[in-house]
Amino acid sequence: MRKEYDFSKGKRGAVVPTPPGKTRITIRLDDDILAWFRGHVEAVGGGNYQTMINNALRDYMEHKIEPIEDTIRRVLREELKKKSA
């Protein structure tokens, strides 16, 4: 290591500029949530876990994910159908 470094041409901020339509934030997620997304990306052969989290949030926001009440009703119907068969 050098005794001194020249930072006179250094710039503050992100090294990679944020693309239009995106905002750089800091977010705290539970370790198991982050591990699941990272593991899922690895399991499908690559990609970006941050994009996957963004897509999951968008699906939730746009109600593409079935509401919990509908999920419970669907599961109960399926189970009752199995019992009567």
Model confidence pLDDT, tens digit, residues 9-26: 888 876 788 889 999 899
Query: What's the pLDDT score for residue 39?
Result: 95
Q: Does the pLDDT of residue 45 top 80, yes or no? A: yes
Angle at 84 between CA 81 and CA 85, to 5 degrees: 85
Work out the percent of the chain whose per-residue pLDDT is above 90.
Answer: 54
- Which position has the higher pLDDT, 1 or 39? 39
Would you give the distance in Å from CA 6 to the centre of its chain? 38
Q: Does the pLDDT of residue 32 top 90, yes or no? A: yes
Q: Which pTM does this prediction carry?
A: 0.57
Q: Does the pLDDT of residue 50 top 80, yes or no? A: yes
